[in-house]
């Protein structure tokens, strides 16, 4: 699940700062937001593997069965089950599957089979003009952040951060999917309040970093993948946006370095609010002197004096929100919640 190979040489980020979030990304602010076509039961969805190959081929079958159980016909990319090292086939093959599924009029949505690493390699190979002509929902998280960011920056398309095809389709995730895609509900995102057998709730708690409310379009995703796009034309414009982040298996010193990069890029000074989801397995290691995540948030987010909270059910967790990247939301950092303000599908 590590994506460290995409971080490259951190020193290069400083050299690329004039480009970060600029160029084509700045032009994206003038583009109209592009809404995907609606999705219904009986429609055809595509399963693609734009990142890592799976180490268990049976998971690909489970992904198809899950989509069928949701009520869809399923198409798989031509390179869906291939492998080249840790990747699910060659760059040209994986990008070709994405381009083909966006161009296929029969396909109404694209589900990524898994994350891992490798999606950023595809960004120069995608046909953004064709994607703009055929807007449809893309669902995935983790390494799929590279695709979400590029599609939003280059086309304005609203995409969806949420479960992968081979992941858990538990009751919570299925409910999120049905409400978002079938009911097209203006979703309210607030962690469930369930104490279990505890005197006070411990699980799924949110923590306010700075109180207040803010409105803006959602941008973000996996922190390490997002930072790895620094200096490229595949980052969205962050001005006035609500930035949401998550990560997995990253030591606090690495989280600190990534937040430092966001600060140096000017991202943190431009956003209207910050929602941090889960950082799974990001505890300090053994030894003396490690920063904590809470301390990192205090260092980078509190001085901004914008609404910010942590603990949202976004990230590498079994039950996760499905959130629209590019969708307009209002966040309430005191309540630890956010809500959609506008539809995110074509009428």
Residue 128 is encoded by which pair of tokens?
Answer: 């953004």
Q: Measured between alpha carbons, how far is 246 from 312 in angstroms, rounded to an integer?
A: 9
Tokens representing 225 are: 């993948």
Task: Give all strands of the β-sheet with 107-112 in edge-to-edge order.
Answer: 73-76, 44-48, 107-112, 137-140, 159-161, 323-325
Q: How far is CA 34 from CA 125, 131, 163, 260, 315, in A?
A: 20, 10, 22, 31, 25
- What phi, psi does 242 have (nearest 5°)? -95, 115
How far from 320 is each of 2, 25, 99, 144, 162, CA to CA, in Å? 20, 28, 28, 15, 7
Q: Kindly state the DSSP code that residue 171 receives in the 8-state scheme.
A: H
Region at 64 (left for phi over 0; alpha for psi -120 to 50; beta for the rest)? alpha
Q: Is 62 strand, coil or helix?
A: helix
Could you count the other beta carbons within 10 Å of the beta carbon of residue 4? Answer: 12
Which of the residues are catalytic?
142, 246, 316
Which residue has tokens 């607030």? 190
Eight-state DSSP code of residue 113: S
Q: Hey, what are 285's tokens?
A: 């290691």
Q: Count Cβ atoms within 10 A of the Cβ of residue 56 and give its class: 0-12 exposed, 13-18 middle, 19 or more buried.
A: exposed
């Amino acid at each position: 699940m590590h994506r460290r190979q995409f971080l490259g040489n951190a020193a290069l980020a400083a050299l690329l700062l004039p480009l970060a979030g600029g160029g084509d990304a700045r032009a994206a602010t003038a583009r109209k937001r592009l809404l995907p076509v609606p999705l219904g039961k009986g429609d055809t969805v595509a399963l693609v593997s734009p990142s890592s190959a799976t180490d268990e081929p049976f998971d690909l079958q489970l992904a198809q069965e899950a989509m069928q159980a949701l009520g869809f016909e399923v198409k798989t990319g031509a390179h869906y089950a291939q492998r080249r090292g840790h990747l699910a086939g060659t760059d040209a093959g994986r990008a070709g599957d994405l381009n083909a599924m966006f161009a296929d009029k029969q396909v109404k949505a694209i589900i990524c089979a898994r994350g891992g690493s490798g999606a950023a390699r595809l960004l120069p190979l995608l046909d953004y003009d064709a994607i703009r002509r055929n807007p449809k929902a893309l669902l995935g998280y983790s390494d799929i952040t590279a695709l979400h960011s590029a599609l939003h920056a280059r086309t304005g398309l609203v995409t969806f951060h949420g479960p992968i095809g081979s992941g858990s389709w538990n009751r919570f995730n299925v409910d999120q999917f049905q409400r978002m895609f079938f009911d097209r509900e203006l979703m309210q995102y607030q962690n469930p309040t369930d104490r279990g057998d505890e005197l006070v709730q411990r699980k799924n708690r949110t923590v306010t970093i700075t109180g207040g409310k803010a409105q803006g379009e959602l941008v973000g995703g996996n922190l390490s993948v997002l930072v790895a796009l620094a200096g490229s034309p595949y980052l969205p414009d962050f001005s006035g946006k609500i930035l949401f982040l998550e990560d997995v298996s990253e030591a606090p010193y690495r989280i600190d370095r990534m937040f430092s990069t966001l600060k140096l890029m000017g991202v943190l000074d431009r956003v209207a609010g910050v929602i941090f989801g889960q950082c799974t397995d990001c505890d300090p290691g053994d030894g003396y002197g490690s920063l904590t995540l809470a301390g990192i948030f205090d260092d980078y987010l509190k001085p901004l004096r914008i609404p910010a909270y942590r603990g949202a059910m976004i990230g590498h967790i079994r039950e996760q929100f499905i959130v629209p990247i590019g969708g307009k939301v209002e966040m309430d950092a005191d309540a630890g919640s956010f809500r959609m303000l506008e539809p995110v599908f074509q009428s």
